Amino acid sequence: MCSGRAYVRNVSYCELALSFFPLATIRHKFCANDPEVFVQAAMLAQDYCDAIDLNLGCPQMIAKRGHYGAFLQEEWDLLQRMILLANEKLSVPITCKIRVFPEIDKTVKYAQMLEKAGCQLLTVHGRTKEQKGPLAGVASWEHIQAVRKAVSIPVFANGNIQCLSDVEECIRKTGVHGVMSAEGNLHNPALFEGRNPLVWEMAEEYLEIVQKYPCPLSYVRAHLFKLWHHTLQVYQQLREELAKVKTLEGIADVNRELKLRCQEEIANQKEGEKPKEGLPFFHWICQPYIRPGPKERCKENGISGTEKGVRGKRALEDEEDRSSELLSKNKQKKKLRNPNKSFDPSLKPKYAKCDQCGNPKGNKCVFNMCRGCCKKRAFKETADCPGHGLLFKTKYEKSLLWQSSQREIQNPEISWRGEVDVGETTLTEGGC
């Protein structure tokens, strides 16, 4: 959904980069924390792409739990081994995407380490791993500029890209070879063309692509929530319909209804009328969405900054949970799927914690651990845990019995010859 010389990665949230490369190229992005596993997976994909990209920029909680993305940025030895092995085994280049450290000097050394290990193209997101969601703030182009000057490989910038003029300004200020955009491109897929089309036109084009290249409906719904963000603030009923629809044809019907409502609004528009809510364009035109910070969120919810300090997103959601009428949009969707579901924290079951990691432990675990920790210990000690269905000891003993029986099957003549020898000896002695 973009034209010109564009660098396109096949990632679910459609990051695009305007670059100086003459042809479009494809990178497969991987999350990993083990050199051998990373390279084995990459080898399966290398024949279908132009490069392998190691994701060192994901700041989400799932990346923290899985120990990958931006949560590896302090483990330089591990990252070196991953990139070195990838360079040795793969037939395509290895690239990386990172987030910055608060200190520019440390960020520069980090980039230089990756370059020395064999990274051949580096994308720098000018935010730290803590800058996400309502705390995203502004990306630091100063960090990106410092990295660009310190390394000899191509550098792409990421962060603060909402329109084409931002792309041009970023290249001018940082000197990078290309620019990527995620959020900005999701809200306006024509960002790199310098256009602001009508939201239903972009949706029609997107749905045509989905029909040609099918994907899970949840992906489609997520993209359209971004694309229609401003319009769905006006037509809340369409938001609910989009959340409940179960087929691609149903989504197309929602798009047609959205188009009719917007066209009716345009027809009734008064001369000289300006966009509401401080938007640069009317809501039916593709445009950026600026995330409100914690202070703005508090104002929206009628909470003063002096009221026990400024509270974050999670605290506000917890407050909403106490009222059955004020649920977050995500919880409203869960309520639609399961009307009997309750979000009252007092009704949540209490779990005993694993002695090792703090996750809920198995009620019948012999080690008083969660399944993950129990599996590691049972494997190490060759023990059983019936509560988790882990039978390392039992299987080991069975394997020994099987090996013993196989040896007897393969060499039956040994025991037979032994009996004959004894018999012959007895006969000889009797003859004497």
Per-residue pLDDT of the chain (432 residues; tens, 9 = 90+): 332 222 333 333 334 333 333 335 688 899 999 999 999 999 999 999 999 999 999 999 999 999 999 999 999 999 999 999 999 999 999 999 999 999 999 999 999 999 999 999 999 999 999 999 888 899 999 999 999 999 999 999 999 999 999 999 999 999 999 999 999 999 999 999 999 999 999 999 999 999 999 999 999 999 999 999 999 999 999 999 999 999 999 999 999 999 999 999 999 998 889 998 889 999 999 999 987 765 555 555 554 444 444 344 444 444 434 444 467 778 888 888 888 888 787 777 777 888 888 788 888 999 989 999 999 999 999 999 999 999 999 999 999 998 888 888 877 655 444 444 444 433 334 443
On whether the pTM is more than 0.85, the answer is: no
- Are 374 and 390 a contacting pair, CB within 8 Å? yes
* 299 token code pair: 């104002």
Question: Which H helix or E strand runs over 19?
Answer: strand 16-19
Q: What are the b/e assignments for 169-181, b being 16+ CB within 10 Å? A: ebbeebebbbbbb
- What's residue 176's pLDDT? 97
Torsion of CA 208, 209, 213, 214, to 10 degrees: -60
* 377 token code pair: 């210990």
- What's residue 295's pLDDT? 59
* 413 token code pair: 């003549």
- Tell me how far apart the alpha carbons of residues 101 and 56 are, in angstroms, rounded to a whole number: 12
Beta bridge partners of 55: 97
Longest dimension (CA), the chain: 132
Beta bridge partners of 16: 8, 181
Question: Which H helix or E strand runs over 8?
Answer: strand 6-8
Q: Give the residue numbers marked as catalytic.
A: 58
User: Could you give the C-alpha distances from 64 to 129, 152, 338, in angstroms and in order?
Assistant: 10, 31, 29
- What's residue 45's pLDDT? 95
CA 183, 16, 79, 31 dihedral sign is positive
- What's residue 248's pLDDT? 95
CA 62 centroid distance within chain:
7
User: Could you give the C-alpha distances from 190 to 40, 135, 157, 182, in angstroms and in order?
Assistant: 36, 27, 19, 12
- What's residue 299's pLDDT? 54
- What's residue 316's pLDDT? 40
Q: Which amino acid is at 178?
A: G
Q: What share of the chain is helix, strand, coil (3-state, %, to 5)?
A: 50, 10, 40
Nearest CA among 95, 115, 15 for reference residue 55: 95
- Phi/psi of residue 181, each to 5°? -145, 140
Q: Which amino acid is at 382?
A: T
Phi-psi region of 184 (alpha: psi -120 to 50; beta: other; left: phi over 0): alpha
Nearest CA among 130, 121, 127, 120 for reference residue 141: 127
